[in-house]
Amino acid sequence: MVHRRLLVSICAIVGAATMAAPAAVPVASATSLGGVTSRRLGAWTLTGGSTAPTVLTWDGFTRPVGTDLNNAATGGGPVWRVIRGTWITATNQAQDKPSAQNAAVVVDCGRVNATVTAVLLPGPTAYAGGVAFKSNGTNLLYAYYRNQSGGSVEVGKVVNGNATPLASSANVGAGVATTVSAAYAGGLVTIRINGVTVLTVSLSAADVTAFGANTRNGLYADNDSQTLFDDFRCESP
């Protein structure tokens, strides 16, 4: 009985102490901020890729000076194959030295429709060169750029070492460095100089038959050991 009374007394003491604390806290009064304004906003979620081309194989030619490119692996894996000429590396670039007529070095990009691109850099003031495309390892199509007289470009084919021009375009621009690209899609060849389309060529039925299934692309020079090549890439589309 004494025990119970004491416990009741203790609870009363504790309860009194506990109740006393909240009574000491001032009650904050909520008042209106007087209205909220907001600028008009926007948010969207969009889907879709960057549409950047897929690089199939590439080469920046960052090898020791004088490296023979024949059988050398490209960035994408496949190896270079020299068709004609002596293709070696200069200072992080490529050149055909000693040079040969209708010289070419190609790599298998594995796609029938592809775009091949290379940057030309001048050894001397005047320079010329381009890209080889749709090659079977022996014959090829080429896009050949000259930076003289306002710049010109020629599309042709080389069969058994002999070149035949198919089409050309003049006054395409003559810069210090020139990016040449040739895109092939279903018989249509599109040539771009520094990203600008300067020539389109529809191949004849015979040429489509002869070159259409070929998948090798690369560099092209013609009796020129001075012109330097850089940043080769083969991409899709």
Least Å distance between CB 42 and another protein? 4
- Residue 195 is a binding residue for another protein (CB under 8 A): no
Query: Which residue in the set 30, 64, 66, 125 belongs to the binding site for another protein (CB under 8 A)?
Result: 30
Least Å distance between CB 64 and another protein? 18
Indicate the SS3 state at residue 20: helix
> Distances from the Cα of 151 to the Cαs of 96, 177, 196, 228, 232, in angstroms?
21, 12, 13, 17, 21
3-class SS letters over 145-182: EECCCCCEEEEEEEECCEEEEEEEEECCCCCCCEEEEE
> Distances from the Cα of 172 to the Cαs of 35, 117, 178, in angstroms?
64, 16, 11
Report the residue number, 158 or 234, with the smaller CB distance to another protein: 234
Query: Which residue in the set 66, 73, 75, 190 belongs to the binding site for another protein (CB under 8 A)?
Result: 75
> Distances from the Cα of 136 to the Cαs of 55, 166, 190, in angstroms?
20, 18, 20
Least Å distance between CB 27 and another protein? 8
Least Å distance between CB 232 and another protein? 9
Report the residue number, 22 or 124, with the smaller CB distance to another protein: 22
Report the residue number, 224 or 230, with the smaller CB distance to another protein: 230
Residues 6 or more apart whose Cβ sits within 8 Å of residue 69: 61, 80, 82, 87, 88, 89, 94, 105
Please state, in angstroms and rounded to a whole number, the distance separating the CA atoms of residues 13 and 200: 99
Report the residue number, 45 or 160, with the smaller CB distance to another protein: 45
Task: For the segment 42-71, give every residue that binds another protein (CB under 8 A).
Answer: 42-55, 57-58, 60
Answer for the pair 101, 76: CB distance below 8 angstroms, yes or no: no
Query: Which residue in the set 8, 14, 65, 205 belongs to the binding site for another protein (CB under 8 A)?
Result: 14
Report the residue number, 11 or 176, with the smaller CB distance to another protein: 11
Query: Which residue in the set 112, 123, 210, 231 belongs to the binding site for another protein (CB under 8 A)?
Result: 231
What stretch of H or E contains 202?
strand 196-202
Report the residue number, 17 or 206, with the smaller CB distance to another protein: 17
Report the residue number, 74 or 152, with the smaller CB distance to another protein: 74
Distance of CA 166 to the CA centre of its chain: 28
Query: Which chain residues interact with another protein by CB under 8 A?
Result: 2-3, 6-7, 10, 13-14, 17-18, 20-21, 23-26, 28-55, 57-58, 60, 75-76, 230-231, 233
